Chain A
């Protein structure tokens, strides 16, 4: 029973923190660019405002358009609850599997891409086409990094991987680990739609990917999409943090350990989010057709990580 409580706490924590992570990243970026920027809680205020507004949907849109935000949100909440963010002993080990997590995140992407096509506008189709192209190319990198990590324990169970890293630091700081971290970081940026793959702040038709798909959403549908998108970023950053800095994660469900784990988790997120935001100041968005080159690079890193993990083991 307590494992289910842990899962619920994790899901609520990720959902609550996710907009703040976006707010923090915007604030860091604004400060580094010499702007005043918004407050930390501004994304939360935006969500509250959108949740109250009337949802307007395109005249030609069907079921897929209205179903996509809830499916996206459902996959995000499920991953946030099952993956080992606060505790390695989750209630659903069969969901906290790296391959399942990758698949669930992809399911959310697909729901949104179908919604983009369902609007019948050129923008929606454009965003869906670009998003699916990038997602198709990110997949190999993600799974190769998974392969490199799974050699630690011989299984793809996330809880086991994080627990093994926490008890034996020598398994984390290996050449294979470093290569896998680099590959996974690039894949994370692509999957979460951050620079240099996609610019979350643009609405220019030549460049937008994620924003083009969700252009027709309004009201609570838009709020759900935005919220889920920020949760996906938090989920991916949290995974990156816990896989490569696996300390501070509770191994059971004692309240004190969970509170400590929550504090450590938030600090890790803030550090990683700040790092990503600071990096974004210095890079420009890549042309869409240069993105495959970046992903090919991260793919090679992943391949090297796997080979290093078996050769140098």
Chain B
């Protein structure tokens, strides 16, 4: 039996039995049952993905499973890569869920909300495994609905959850409609709905049809991926969902939007015009910059991580755009590097974002707050969580020797390439893209220094942080697994090289991207080398050596009060908070962020020059959301109110409507 088929079958069977077992399970065991089932589904999915990226392909047609179209499954290396990614994330999150929702747990313990979790993971596995338009759309919608149920898990606790659910439901359904329109149009034009049939006919489509299909699919997939300006659901849903769900959505589900773009753009439509990819690049650049700027000034830990997801998706889209442009320009080798950078960054982001959202969940669970301004001092009370979060932050900040650095290095290599006779557009676009990646990386570093420094170091600034306790072991084990995956991807990314080459070859990009064996990442066509292993060994080895030498040769350290300017003991209120840390950046990017500041000075009764109280308020609204979505929502609201006037309860009026409708139909029939 095909290993992919066996593993996928096991995954779906486990998901079903896990969901069914969770419903009658006693409340104490529910989280353990669901967590174990989810982890099992994840492991099975990852096994299927692992087999597929090593070259085992599998196709199946199950005509009796669904009426009309049946179910068609097809797993190739590209699908395998995303199966591996989703499965890996789900395996970690499953283990995490056991402790997060378990005894004295946090978050929803309702049985329904628990039972949905393995089904959601199975739906995410079904999306890349789908081999036809109808199966894909079915899996996509199943994923959207189950994730919506999970986002709404804590709807009884806060109205913000309900708002987030509404935004997510509206945007994900709108995105589904555009994908539906795009893919059905594509299937109609290609004369068949299986991906194989579309692929065969894809190159012969007229440019207008292909461009229209690409735009429609891009709108839906980019909104699922959280690309700006289709992002407003993401910071809300990721922030308000229970943390294990945030981790699954941010690390895995968002990547399936990326998968959709690769599948439709590169595979089904087979490349396409340059403007497609320049548009995608612009989308990626805006997402990366806007996402990281919003993250830099955010003070809600999970909202910050959500905006950072938008940023990373932006970088992935930039990589895809570069791949499309270079492939169109005949530079297959560089196109392959760009594609590999995008796919590797997707995997790296899945690794560190799982770790970071799980860490945020641990913080939320033991302090009860997500507000960075009220945190601090966790490094002493939660040392293991702090250490693991530090690994995640290092990777997310794209600093060597983290895994984010490797994929950003690859992305830069693809963008730094200059082709002769590339044309004016590319001559300007490539350096601008490099500058965007660099500015994003720079602000990203500042952002993660802020998270780590103000959230975990120094002294606690709130009661929750002052009484925090370390998380249960299952949560730490899960985060440890995610950290180990990040470290593996960071130090020996060459293990992913054969899979990336296979995928690139399948998508008609460069045949051979990486040269030679060994631990270094050598690019075949470009001649740049990076050796993450030596960077890691060098930094860690030298640092440990210096520390040991200092301890052996120098005098012992002594603790003393910090310098307080002779003004009595320092209090935690004097520390720099997340808001104050980001203030210079906020000022530099004032024109983009447009903060709303409000200072009220109340003078004393005796004199206007004696100040009694100063109130300072600052809000950083999402400008794109306010300016782009505000008018649309207001217009929809107005139309709805106007529509209500049509139905005033009078039976006569309704009879008149029916008569008018009948006449209209008859007239239309006669005219035809």
Contact = CB atoms under 8 A, between A and B. Distances in A.
Contacts of B562: 58-61, 119-121, 216
Interface centre among B442, B459, B583 (most CB of A within 10 A): B442
A58 B453 contact: no
A292 B442 CA distance: 13
Contact of A95 (B413, B432, B535, B572): B535
Interface string A115-154: 0111111111110111011011111101110110011011
Contacts of B530: 94, 97, 99-100
Interface stretch (A48-56, A231-239, A267-275): A48-56
B528 interface: yes
B535 A100 contact: yes
A282 interface: no
A56 to B, nearest CB: 5
A86 interface: no
A114 B529 contact: no
B576 interface: yes
A237 B532 CA distance: 25
B64 to A, nearest CB: 54
A311 interface: yes
Interface string B422-435: 10000110111011
Interface in A26-78: 51, 53-64, 66-67, 69-71, 73-75, 77-78
A116 B527 CA distance: 39
Interface stretch (B8-16, B54-62, B135-143, B443-451): B443-451
A239 B166 CA distance: 54
Interface in A67-111: 67, 69-71, 73-75, 77-78, 81-82, 92-95, 97, 99-100, 103-104, 106-107, 110
Nearest to B401: A107
B587 A94 contact: no
Given A128-B449, A216-B563, A104 B535 contact: yes
Nearest to B583: A129
Interface string A177-193: 00000000000000000
Contacts of B449: 110, 113-114, 117, 128, 132
B437 interface: yes
B535 A151 contact: no
Contacts of A18: none
Contacts of B546: 69-70, 73-74, 224
Contacts of B580: 125, 129
A160 interface: yes
Interface extent on A, as a size class? 35 or more
B450 to A, nearest CB: 8
Contact of A117 (B542, B556, B576): B576
B339 interface: no
Contacts of B556: 54
Interface string A290-313: 001000000100110011011100
A135 B446 contact: yes
Given A97-B528, A125-B576, A143 B434 contact: yes
B531 A219 contact: no
Contacts of B430: 306
Contacts of B555: 53-55, 219-220
B438 A142 contact: yes
B574 A121 contact: yes
B542 A78 contact: yes
A243 to B, nearest CB: 16
Interface in B538-560: 538-547, 550, 554-560
A137 B439 CA distance: 7
A257 interface: no
B445 A132 contact: yes
B417 interface: yes
A126 to B, nearest CB: 6
A62 B528 contact: no
B527 A155 contact: yes
Nearest to B419: A310
A211 interface: no
Contacts of B585: 132-133, 136
A146 B398 CA distance: 17
B29 to A, nearest CB: 38
Nearest to B581: A129
Contacts of A6: none
A136 B443 contact: yes
A198 interface: no
B434 A144 contact: yes
Given A55-B555, A144-B431, A107 B400 contact: yes
Contact of B529 (A119, A154, A157, A292): A157
A240 B400 CA distance: 22
B588 interface: yes
Contacts of B543: 67, 70-71, 73-74
A156 interface: yes
Contacts of A299: 435
Given A60-B562, A155-B528, A140 B431 contact: no
Contacts of A153: 527
B566 to A, nearest CB: 13
Contact of B435 (A69, A107, A143, A221): A143
Interface in B487-536: 520-521, 526-532, 534-535
A286 interface: no
Nearest to B455: A117
B583 A120 contact: no
A215 interface: yes
Nearest to B427: A310
A288 interface: yes
Contacts of A302: 435
A77 B574 contact: no
Interface string B395-431: 0011110000100010011001110001000011011
B557 A292 contact: no
A219 B550 CA distance: 11
A126 B577 CA distance: 10
Contacts of A69: 546
A73 B397 CA distance: 20
A59 B400 contact: no
Contact of A94 (B416, B434, B529): B529
A104 B539 contact: yes
Given A114-B453, A129-B583, A129-B584, A92 B531 contact: yes
B435 to A, nearest CB: 5
Contacts of B466: none
Given A103-B400, A117-B458, A144-B435, A56 B558 contact: yes
A64 B539 contact: no
B491 to A, nearest CB: 12
Contacts of A71: 539, 543
Contacts of B434: 143-144, 147, 306
A306 B446 CA distance: 26
Interface of A: 51, 53-64, 66-67, 69-71, 73-75, 77-78, 81-82, 92-95, 97, 99-100, 103-104, 106-107, 110, 113-114, 116-126, 128-130, 132-133, 135-140, 142-144, 146-147, 150-151, 153-157, 160, 215-216, 219-221, 224, 288-289, 292, 299, 302-303, 306-307, 309-311
12 contacts: A54-B555, A56-B558, A63-B379, A70-B550, A82-B538, A94-B530, A117-B453, A117-B581, A120-B570, A122-B570, A123-B563, A126-B576
Given A128-B576, A144-B434, 17 more contacts: A53-B555, A55-B555, A56-B559, A56-B560, A58-B560, A74-B542, A74-B543, A93-B531, A97-B409, A99-B409, A100-B409, A117-B457, A119-B458, A142-B438, A155-B528, A219-B557, A306-B434
Ranked nearest first, the 4 interchain pairs of A and B with the lowest CB-CB distance are A125-B576, A94-B531, A139-B442, A117-B453
